[in-house]
Structures are given as C-alpha cells and as structure tokens.
Structure 1
Amino acid sequence: MEYLARINPKYFAAIHQCSAKGDVRYYLNAVQIERHPSGGVVIVATNGHFMGAIHDPDGWISPDHKSVLVGTVSKRLLSACSASKGSDCEPPANLWIAEKFSLVTSLEDTTEEPELFGEHSHLTEKTELVDGLFPDWRRVMPQKRLTKAEPFPCLNGEYLEVFNRIGVLLTGQKRFGGGGICLEPSEDKGAVVVRFSNFDLINKFVGVIMPMSSDPIERLTPAWAAPVVKHSKAA
C-alpha cells in the first residue's frame, strides 16, 4: 500500500463540483492534484466551460509524481469529505489517496500513514486514478483586467450556483455564498474570474467561467422599469 497524495477533504469535495459528469473526454471527469512550486498542492477541475482551483498549502504529493488525476468518485466519499463530523465525532482532517482507494480520516498527524479502518477513519472507499493528460489550465487563466467600459458578459447561471455551493462548503457560511462572490471580466470579452471575499479564501481559491453568446442588451434596464416622469401643473 502506498499513498500518493494527501489533501484537505473539503477542498476536494468543493473542487469536484467543477468537474464534468460523464464527458467522453474522461480526464475532464476527474480532479487533478498537482505539486505547487512554493509548497503544498493545487487542486483543480473543469468541465471545459468553467473551472475551479484552490491552493492547499498543507497538501502533499508523492515525490515520484508531479500530479495525480483522481477519477470518478462516489457520493459517499464526497459526503464524508464535506461532513461536519465523522463516526468518531471529529471533523474530517485529511483525504489520503492511493492508486485504488481513498481514505478520509480525522487524524491530523501526518507523520505516519493512517490505518485503513482505524478509530479515526471515517471512510475507506474505492477510487481509481486516471491515466491521462489533464488540460493546461493555466493557459486559459486570465491575466489582465478589463480596463474599458463594456457590458458584463452573459454567464451560465448553473455555474454561478455551483460557486455559491463551493463558497458555503468551504466557509461553513450559508449566507452570502460563503462571504460574498466577486466576479470580474477579463479583457477582450474573455473569461470571467470568480473570487471569494472571505479572508481565508481570497488568495487560495480562483474560478473561471467562459461567457455565453447572447444578443446585445441595448438598455441598462427595460423601458417599462424606468422612473415615471411627473409633469408640473404649470406644464
């Protein structure tokens, strides 16, 4: 038995919501865990239209791997990762990933590998790694802000709903989508960047939504919503 990666279980459950579901491009159905050059790991997933990524500074990946691609996982594993408490009445602390299974545990000590069915083990579940090449997600990550006034691009509301769920999961705050979602379009009608204003996530999480094609909206609001102009009696 050899563990290949260890990450924050809530981070995994959150980012997994950005992966594709049943796509023929099987690598998009997976979650990638890759080494970050300054420490820890980056957890990223995309369905090709929107993407979520988070830096886990305490995450770890085997020295023999630059990245690990975790394939389709069960609802039971995701539930164990996002639960407030496990069978030992303690919150999940780490998700350990091996080639054929994954383990959710409340054990914070990472100096030794955890027991599969020890007292701190919340769930040991079958998972499989994907042998494929994940897209170079940094190539589509916007780098320049939009500096000129343009109409805000049209976005898929389902993706905004996903980011709302991610914010609630990561922060535990049900109000304001985990503390507030900041949307900012990049230049040249490019992707919209998603950030959370929460102090713990503002420099950890980033999302991207590709805009939808839509007919131009000529007015800021519909004509019927404009204020009624009252004429004076003299007029």
Structure 2
Amino acid sequence: MEYLARVNPKYFAAIHQCAAKGDVRYYLNAVQIERHPQGGVLIVATNGHFMGAIHDPDGWIADGRDSVLIGTVSKRLLSACSARKGPDSRPPAKLWIAEKFSLVSSLDDTDEEPEMFGDPSHLTEKTDLIDGLFPNWKRVIPTKRRTRVEPFPCINGEYLEAFNKIGVLLTGRKCFGGGGMRIEPSVGDGAVIVRFNSNDLIDRFFGVVMPMASEPLPSLLPAWAASEAEAAKAAEAKAEKAAKPAKAA
C-alpha cells in the first residue's frame, strides 16, 4: 500500500466547496494538493470563476511528486472529513490519499501509515487521481489592493455563500460563517480577495472571486431612496437648527 499525500481532512472538505460540479473540464472538478516550498502542502480548488486555497503546514506529499490531483469525491468522504466525531468517537485527524482510494483516520501520529479497516479508520472510500494539468491558479491572484475610492466590482453572490460554508467548515462556528469575512477588491477590474476574520486562518486561507461584467452604477442609491435620504437629512438639519438657543441681541 503506497500513500501519495496526507492532509487535514477539514481543510480538504472546505476547499472542495470551490471545485466545479460535473464540469466537462474534468480537472476543474478536482482538488489539487501541491508541495509548498516553505513546508507542508497547499490545497487548491476552482470552478473557473472563484477559487479557494489553504496552506496545510502539517500536510505531506510523497517524494518524487510535486502535486496530486484528486478527482470527484463522494459525499460520504466529504462528510467523514468534516464530521465532529467518527465511529471511534474521535474527530478525524488525517486524510490519507492513495492512487485508488482515500482514507479518513483519527490517528494524529503519522509515524505509521493507517490500516484500511482498523478501528481509527473512519472511512475508506474509492477515489481516483487525475492524470492531467490543473490550471495555473497563481496567474489570477492580484498582488495590490485597491486604495483609492472607486466602485466595488459586481460579484456572484453564490460564491460568497460558498465561502460562508467554508468558514463554518474550517472553524466549526456557524455564527457569521466562521467569524466573518474580509473582502478586499484589487486595483482596477481585478479579482476580489476573500479572507476570514480568524486568528487561525487569516494567514492560512484565501479565496479569489472573479468579477462579473456589469454596467457601472450611476449613483450610490436608487433615485427614490436617495431622495428619501436627502429629505431625512434636511429635516434633521432643520430640527437641529431649531433646537439651538437664540443668540442674545
């Protein structure tokens, strides 16, 4: 039995939210695990419109490999990866990946490879590696944040909903999708960066959402709301003026 990679199962289930579902571009349905030059691995997935990536400092990939591309996985495997406890009443600790299957184990000690059907093995499920090239995801990452005031780009709300699920999966906190999201637009018409307002994740995870084509908004508010807001401000100013004591003659 030869394992090719090992990652945090919670990370894998979370990043899988960004993979395509049934796309004819089969490599977009997959999750990429790749070696990180500073140690550990990166877990990346994209459907071509938005993307998530996380650094797993404790992840591992076999010698002689720079990356592993895992094809479409079952709901059972994703559920086992994100479960609070497994059959042995312990939380999942590692996802081990081989050429034809993946195994979720509660053993945190990685000195020994887990047995396929041992007590700590929560689930052994068939998976397939993809012999193909994952998109060069680094090309879409902006490096400069927007600093001057300009309209925020139009983005697909479903992708923000997916990032909300990712935040819950990664932190276990349903409140505010894992503590809240920080959304940073890049310069010009570039991508929008998503990061989580969590001490554990702020320097580990990031997402990218590509902007949608849209006409610029002519104003901050629609005309009817703008007129209401202006009328309310005028009335407030009038009331404040009336409340001021008259100056002595």
TM-score, shorter chain, exceeding 0.5: yes
1:94 — aligned with what? Answer: 94
Q: Which moved more, 1:216-225 or 1:22-31?
A: 216-225
How far does residue 218 in structure 1 lie from its aligned partner after superposition?
Answer: 1.4
Determine the C-alpha separation between the residues in 2 that align with 1:176 and 1:224: 31
Residue identity matched to 1:180 = G
How far does residue 44 in structure 1 lie from its aligned partner after superposition?
Answer: 0.1
Q: What percentage of aligned pairs have identical amino acids?
A: 73
How far does residue 223 in structure 1 lie from its aligned partner after superposition?
Answer: 2.6
* Equivalent residue runs for 1:2-13 within 5 Å: 2-13=2-13
Unaligned runs of 5+ in 2: 240-249
Q: Which moved more, 1:165-174 or 1:143-152?
A: 143-152
2:45 — aligned with what? Answer: 45
1:173 to 2:173 alignment? yes
* Equivalent residue runs for 1:76-91 within 5 Å: 76-91=76-91
Residue identity matched to 1:74 = S
Determine the C-alpha separation between the residues in 2 that align with 1:55 and 1:27: 20
Give 4+ residue runs of structure 1 displaced > 6 Å after superposition.
none
Q: Relative to 1, partners in 2 of residues 1:154 and 1:113: Cα closer, same or farther, differing over 3 Å?
A: same
TM-score, normalised by the number of residues in structure 1: 0.97
Q: Which moved more, 1:211-220 or 1:2-11?
A: 211-220
The SS at the match of 1:193 is: strand
More helix by share: 2
* Equivalent residue runs for 1:145-184 within 5 Å: 145-184=145-184
2:36 — aligned with what? Answer: 36
Larger radius of gyration: 2
1:62-108 CA distance string (max 9 Å, x none): 01210000000000000000000000000000000000000001011
* Equivalent residue runs for 1:15-26 within 5 Å: 15-26=15-26
Residue identity matched to 1:68 = V
The SS at the match of 2:206 is: strand
How far does residue 232 in structure 1 lie from its aligned partner after superposition?
Answer: 5.9
How far does residue 172 in structure 1 lie from its aligned partner after superposition?
Answer: 0.8
* Equivalent residue runs for 1:114-133 within 5 Å: 114-133=114-133
How far does residue 176 in structure 1 lie from its aligned partner after superposition?
Answer: 1.0
Determine the C-alpha separation between the residues in 1 that align with 2:169 and 2:34: 22
How far does residue 5 in structure 1 lie from its aligned partner after superposition?
Answer: 0.2
The SS at the match of 1:17 is: helix
Determine the C-alpha separation between the residues in 2 that align with 1:125 and 1:105: 12
Q: Provide the aligned C-alpha RMSD in A.
A: 1.3
TM-score, normalised by the number of residues in structure 2: 0.91
Unaligned runs of 5+ in 1: none
2:243 — aligned with what? Answer: none
Determine the C-alpha separation between the residues in 2 that align with 1:23 and 1:52: 17
Determine the C-alpha separation between the residues in 1 that align with 2:221 and 2:86: 49
